[in-house]
Amino acid sequence: MKLVALAGGVGGAKLVHGLAKILPAEALTIVVNTGDDFEHLGLYICPDLDTVCYTLAGLANPVTGWGRVDESWQAIESMAQLGGPSWFRLGDKDLGTHLERTRRLRAGEPLSKITRDFCHAWGIRHTVLPMSDDPIATIVETVEHGELPFQEYFVHLRCEPTVRGFQFAGVEKARPAPGVPEAIEAADAVVFCPSNPWVSIDPILAVAGLKSGSGAATPVVAVSPIIGGKAVKGPAAKMYTELGIQPSALAVAEHYQNLLTGFVLDQIDADLEESIQNLNLQTMVTDTIMKTLADRRRLAEDVLNFITNLN
Ligand code: FO1
């Protein structure tokens, strides 16, 4: 089975890690959101791409989910001592990634090629692709501050502003990265990882597109990032509420509805299964919480079994 997984940061990285433990290298292509990317301190930072790669390489910080394990913070702390901006915590090891990526981007190399080389250096065998080599910036429209660049909203303002909507600046001119359309075309199934629908999966769909949906040749399955009305991590549930939608697995299924064949929801939300099936989606109820590596693998196995048994 050839699978394409669409992923944002921490939640998406956990499921693709599980999938990568089961599927051989040629059977899994991971397309990662780059809408969160930004230039900071003169460096080009790709948070979701790095989170996915560090996780697959076993280099991720297990506490935060982002950044590197066994990290030190000397550079950012000496900068803070000088009065420099330290709200976005870049660790010393992580800085090496940003320095080298920025150097190569400035030399004119595309992000997809740099990512391929970094994956090779980190021992990652599965294909990891940025959604695009072109700049696309997620902008969060807020009540209090108007339009905010994503990391300004997410990290600097701790997701506190009230969300009114989103824009993906640059998407009209952007093309999917080389390999993305080909991987989707060749896929036996596409999985939307349990990432934020608004700011992780939607930007990927905005540039990479998918032929919609139920009944189309390639099955598309989403795993809910909302469990019991709450996001496992991050502001997804808060965003739904502020946009006037009650956060739930059903709301996620409705969000993606026209693209999906199947939907995976947590056992806590089993009472929503019938409503989701009424959207003309096939469903699987399982334990979707991924605390351990074994959990990642188990959920990945469940998702693969679900896909194999879709009608
Ligand atoms: N998230 C935070 O909440 N605070 C940080 O200081 C922070 C730094 C950071 C550095 C590198 C990196 O790759 C990710 C980092 N993140 C940080 C996570 C990141 O902002 C978000 O997880 C994603 O953009 C949302 O998926």
Same domain, 150 and 260: no
Same domain, 266 and 215: yes
Whole-prediction pTM value? 0.97
CA 36 to CA 161: how far, in whole Å? 17
Q: Please report, for the domain that includes residue 259, its CATH number.
A: 3.40.50.10680
Q: Is 108 left (phi over 0), alpha (psi -120 to 50) or beta?
A: left
Same domain, 126 and 141: no
Same domain, 152 and 230: no
Same domain, 147 and 194: no
**Domain membership flag for residue 288:** yes
Atom of ligand 1 nearest to the CA of 94: 11
**Domain membership flag for residue 56:** yes
| Burial of 146 per CB tally in 10 Å (0-12, 13-18, 19+) | exposed
Q: Edge-to-edge, what's the strand order for the sheet holding 137-142?
A: 146-149, 137-142, 163-169
Ligand 1: which residue has its CA nearest to atom 9? 89
Amino acid present at 267: Q
- Compute the distance from residue 213 Cα to the ligand 1 centre, in Å: 32
Same domain, 50 and 109: yes
Number of domains forming the structure of the chain = 3
- Compute the distance from residue 100 Cα to the ligand 1 centre, in Å: 18
Ligand 1: which residue has its CA nearest to atom 13? 47
**Domain membership flag for residue 14:** no
Q: Please report, for the domain that includes residue 96, its CATH number.
A: 1.10.8.240
**Domain membership flag for residue 70:** yes
**Domain membership flag for residue 5:** no
**Domain membership flag for residue 30:** no
Task: Return the DSSP state at 176.
Answer: B
Same domain, 184 and 291: yes
**Domain membership flag for residue 205:** yes
CA 200 to CA 175: how far, in whole Å? 17
Confirm if 56 and 124 have CB atoms less than 8 A apart: yes
Query: How does pLDDT run along the chain (311 residues), one tens digit per residue?
Result: 999 999 999 999 999 999 999 999 999 999 999 999 999 999 999 999 999 999 999 999 999 999 999 999 999 999 999 999 999 999 999 999 999 999 999 999 999 999 999 999 999 999 999 999 999 999 999 999 999 999 999 999 999 999 999 999 999 999 999 999 999 999 999 999 999 999 999 999 999 988 654 446 799 999 999 999 999 999 999 999 999 999 999 999 999 989 999 999 999 999 999 999 999 999 999 999 999 999 999 999 999 999 999 98
- Compute the distance from residue 287 Cα to the ligand 1 centre, in Å: 26
Distances (CA, A) of 14 to 52, 55, 114, 119, 288: 8, 7, 23, 17, 11
- Cβ-count burial 16-52 (b if 16+ within 10 Å, e if not): bbbbbeebeeebbbbbbbbbbbbeebebbbbbbbbbb
Same domain, 247 and 270: yes
Which pLDDT score is estimated for 223?
Answer: 98
Q: What is the three-class DSSP state of 67?
A: coil
- Compute the distance from residue 191 Cα to the ligand 1 centre, in Å: 23
**Domain membership flag for residue 27:** no
Residue range of the domain that includes 141: 137-166
